[in-house]
A and B are shown apart, each in its own frame.
Chain A
Amino acid sequence: MSNRILEVNHLTTSFRIGDAYYPAVDDVSLTVNKNEVLAIVGESGCGKSALAFSIMGLHRQAKIEGEIKYNGQNLVGISPVQLNKLRGKSMGMIFQDPLTALNPLMIIGQQIDEVLFLHNPSMSAAKRKERVLSLLDQVGILYPERTYDQFPHELSGGMRQRIIIAIAIANNPSLLIADEPTTALDATIQSQILGLVNELKEKMDAGIVLITHDLGVVAEIADRVAVMYAGQIVEIADVFTLFENPLHPYTKSLLNSIPANVQPKSELHVIQGVVPALQNLPRTGCRFSARIPWIDASKHAENPTLEEVEPEHFVRCTCYQDFYLPGEREDGQYGVS
């Protein structure tokens, strides 16, 4: 399919702890099309960032199995030299922390210039500067000329994040991976940055993978959503379906724990327990079962797989059919099958 930018098939990324390898990303398959934002949601420790880093080939010590196909080319196992030709050129990444992702000793202009120079050695210095200034303008920097000569510490958090975006899009990538791009920012700046990401999607026809734990951000700009728990995708659907008809217990629990979805001052849903550490992850059965102990063990599938329950809506494990939140069954709202 020509529309498909990224195809991840059965990706497993394992890290070594002691003498054994433990998969932080476990058998994940997903696709991203042109002009589409795929959001990946989950709590910290769910493997969202590990997935993003795997796609970009940024893990040094990890064992990566499966396929990551960018425009039909498998990226798993190719040499760093080949990978470097893609990274920064046709694949861009926006990092979470705008403070640490920039070089503190280099002026902004040079940092953007570097990406252009590395991938277009024939481009003249004057042309590059012109491009840098237009990029700064494109990401909403008010005085590109002045900012060009400034150091990162002279800029605010929101401006730094714009610089990161400018670097990521400098070579018009067709795939952009944004790892929590607005987590460190104020609400008004967040909405501006999200607007910018949306604009990029439409103008450059790029595929965007947006990693976030903020369901509000997902509702604002995602086209499709994958919910991750303990290294696996537990539910994947288009954004309207996911918010209207969430099925997996984890998705429902997340949606019920945010204040926007309930009456002010009322009690929020708390997901019992914590995301288990990598070494202690259950490897068999439903990984979420420990956090919904009130659901009978017989309701879980023995080997949960992602099943298509309606067109383009996939859910892992059978427990969703009999799931109810504590206190919900009495109201008879749902959960009784």
Chain B
Amino acid sequence: MAYLEVNDLKVHFPIKGGIFGRTVDHVKAVDGVTMRIEKGKTYGLVGESGSGKSTTGRAIMGLNKITAGNIIFDGKDVTNERGTREDFRKDVQMIFQDPYSSLNPRKRVYEILAEPLRNFEKLSKSEEKKRIYELLEIVGLSPESIYKYPHQFSGGQRQRIGIARAVALQPKLIIADEPVSALDVSVQAQVLNFMQQIQEEYGLTYIFIGHDLGVIRHVCDRIGIMYKGRFVEEGNTDEIFNNPQHIYTKRLVSAIPDIDPRNRGKQINFRAQVQKEYEESFSDYFDEDGLVYPLRKISDTHLVALPGRGE
């Protein structure tokens, strides 16, 4: 029994057109995504911009309407109750990509962190203050920070405020939408270490959305690769990185910059080879609309969208 189950999730956005503003077509941002996420693990959602990975995360969270499919969280079907169920709203939190726009500029850190507490927990003034100090300590910000506004912090510090807000209610699942994309490497290291540390301490489950495969490889246990709203390949981290089957996954993996300059020539050859395969056999991997085929199992844990393979 998986902790979070997503079955055939579809999110279609209407395109309005004509003089009456009727719906003329749909953008199929997410088009049939199924995944199982185990408790205490990190699931990586990967794809290029526009692949639907953020929409998937936001749909699970309840920030986007779901067109079809269902979501089962901890054994309960929450598909139609994501916005109303208290426990779901408390247990599932989100860390946003942009630490500059996800914090209210007119609120002090104290108010930012107190808001989720006031919404869900009846705490006295002194208890509330105590919790907020604890939260700041967890994320490594000084106690004086509570009187400051978001603009007084650096990007990394703001992202930590965002994380403090997300963990304030001791959630069980955190959806992190590109939490480190906007940060410098040293700050990125800080945030990643911290996320890992609280995961171990509280047994958190993460959905980690990202496009930096170096980071994804570092933090994830299982990975789903998305392309045009569908899964191209899904598997454990080493299966995706060491044994990619789909040409799209291969392209992504080959595009990761190699940190050893001596491998430059090898890397260029590898990329050229993958690119050649991509151009020659594009039609073997994608249907006539340029979409991917349904996923099939090629091993117990490794699924790939290839019609000729697997069962």
> B-contacting residues of A (Cβ < 8 Å)?
43-44, 157, 186-191, 194-195, 213-217, 219-220, 222, 239-240, 243, 253-254, 257-262, 264-265, 267-271, 274
Contacts and interface: CB of A to CB of B under 8 A. Distances in A.
A49 to B, nearest CB: 13
| Residue in B185, B189, B258, B259 with the greatest tally of chain A CB atoms within 10 Å | B185
Interface stretch (B67-75, B118-126, B211-219): B211-219
Contact of A268 (B49, B184, B192): B192
B261 A259 contact: no
Interface residues of B, number: 39
B211 A186 contact: yes
Contact of A188 (B188, B237, B252): B252
Main DSSP-derived SS at the B contact region = helix
Main DSSP-derived SS at the A contact region = helix
B258 A219 contact: yes
A157 B271 CA distance: 21
A260 B189 CA distance: 11
A191 B211 contact: no
Contact of B154 (A217, A240, A274): A274
Contacts of A261: 259
A195 B219 CA distance: 28
B185 A254 contact: yes
Given A253-B186, A268-B193, A186 B261 contact: no
Contacts, number: 105
Nearest to B47: A186
Contacts of A270: 186, 189-190, 193
A271 B188 CA distance: 10
Contacts of B296: none
A99 to B, nearest CB: 13
Given A188-B251, A215-B185, A267-B196, 7 more contacts: A44-B155, A187-B256, A195-B271, A243-B259, A253-B186, A269-B189, A271-B186
Contacts of A217: 257
Interface string B258-285: 1111101001100100000000000000
B211 A187 contact: yes
